Amino acid sequence: MMNDTDTDIALRLAAWWESNARDLPWRFGRATAWGVLVSEVMSQQTQMSRVVPYWTAWMERWPDARALADAPKAEVITAWGRLGYPRRALRLQECARTVAERYDGELPRTYDELVALPGVGDYTASAVMSFAFGERIAVIDTNIRRVLARAFRGEESLGGSASQVEREMARRLLPESDKVSVVWNQAVMELGATVCMAKAPLCESCPIAGQCAFLRNG
């Protein structure tokens, strides 16, 4: 459960998100759930600025799971271009085939069904649940782990997989409201990507610098 300080941080982050969120084409309800999933797969280990043109062209060519499922493999690899790790493209097509065959072309709406899809792990399933379906679920990626570790524990997040402590903290800090929890996930992730970066964080631009345990600890 959030205390008064946690609530203050959540409010500050929500206001910051409202004014500073990057206008990415899959945000703000402009993409289907499938489009959100594609954006998350493309964004793994790839800068968002590089993803936008590939995502836009990809979704124009294959706007849903059925379209991608039927595409020639060579065309899928070519369209992936320079995003790197082309195996992701093939796994995404495997996912599309499963969605087309098992779910009549529509993404399933439960975490367990999503995480069972080819190429979909905990983070991607949680992100789709939150960002596409508006469900209350903790989304945990590298950026979120770094922000929460610095702001609330006053230390750096360790590499590797998320620890149990990090997962419990992410769940504890998640606002109770479905709608507010979505904003929270988006705002914390955006802060980690654009302000609270791993190297040379822009603390002078951070909306929660005054409440940050990491800065208090020097």
Q: How high is the pLDDT of residue 3? A: 76
Residues 140 and 128 grouped into a single domain? no
Q: How high is the pLDDT of residue 200? A: 94
In a domain, 28, yes or no: no
Q: Is 105 helix (H, G, I), strand (E, B) or coil?
A: coil
- The per-residue DSSP string of 124-179 comes to HHHHIIIIIT--------HHHHHHHIIIIISSPPPSSSPPHHHHHHHHHHS-SSHH
In a domain, 10, yes or no: yes
Q: How high is the pLDDT of residue 124? A: 97
**What is the C-alpha end-to-end distance of the chain, expressed in Å?**
27
Q: Of 194, 218, 190, which is closest to residue 205 (Cα–Cα)? A: 194
In a domain, 26, yes or no: no
Catalytic pick from 40, 101, 166, 168?
40
Residues 117 and 41 grouped into a single domain? yes
Number of domains within the chain: 2
What is the residue type of 52?
V
- The CA distance from 208 to 40, in Å, is 26
Residues 15 and 84 grouped into a single domain? no
Chunked into runs of 10 residues, the chain (218 residues) has average pLDDT values of 81 97 96 98 90 97 98 96 93 98 98 97 97 98 96 90 92 95 97 96 97 90
The average confidence (pLDDT) of the chain is 95
- The CA distance from 213 to 33, in Å, is 36
34 in Cβ contact with 100 (< 8 Å)? no
In a domain, 191, yes or no: yes
What is the residue type of 198?
A
Residues 142 and 127 grouped into a single domain? no
Neighbours of 216 (CB within 10 A): 10
- pTM listed for this prediction: 0.94
Q: How high is the pLDDT of residue 2? A: 67
Active-site residue 204, yes or no? Answer: no
pLDDT tens column, 11-48: 999 999 999 999 999 999 999 999 999 999 999 988 88
Q: What's the distance, CA 31 to chain centroid?
A: 14
Q: How high is the pLDDT of residue 5? A: 79
Q: What's the distance, CA 203 to chain centroid?
A: 22
The boundaries of the domain holding residue 68 are 33-132
Q: How high is the pLDDT of residue 158? A: 83
